[in-house]
Amino acid sequence: MPTYHKLVRDKIPEIIERNGETCKVKRLDQSTYLQELKTKLKEEVHEYLQAENDESAVEELSDVLEIIHALSAIHGKGFRAVEAARKKKFTERGGFQEKVYLIEVDNDEHNFS
């Protein structure tokens, strides 16, 4: 029997059982859940970086977004707060649509990342 030891989407055990297989799961405490979400985020970002076409890339981005929703809930803010922070940063600093690539700054007193 394969061993996974990883966070999975809520309906995965149900899907496994519908396929006639059995699985063993446990519920995580909040601290472990946060750590596992961070691990899952790294995994999904890595999968996005390895995507070989637009369809796969979008699929992986949807996984990343789902994890961001879960993380924002853990931090007690919800996704609306994340979106509000994104919009504020966009208004103040812009987005990435114009493909601006910073080479150097003469006097780098600010963090422009």
5-51 pLDDT, tens digit per residue, is 999 999 999 999 999 999 999 999 999 999 999 999 999 999 999 99
Structure tokens at 98: 């114009």
- Tell me what pLDDT residue 108 has: 65
Cα dist. 79→9, 67, 110 in Å? Answer: 18, 11, 28
Residue 107 pLDDT more than 90? no
Higher per-residue confidence, 32 vs 106: 32
pLDDT tens column, 45-88: 999 999 999 999 999 999 999 999 999 999 999 999 999 999 99
Q: How many C-beta atoms surround the C-beta of residue 45 within 10 A?
A: 15
Structure tokens at 18: 């519908």
Query: What length is written for the chain?
Result: 113
Q: Using CA atoms, how far apart are residues 2 and 71, in angstroms rounded to an integer?
A: 28
Average pLDDT score over residue span 106-110: 73
- Structural domains in the chain, CATH included, are 12-93 (1.10.287)
Report the predicted TM-score, pTM, of the whole model to 2 decimal places: 0.86
**CB distance 37 to 7 below 8 Å:** yes
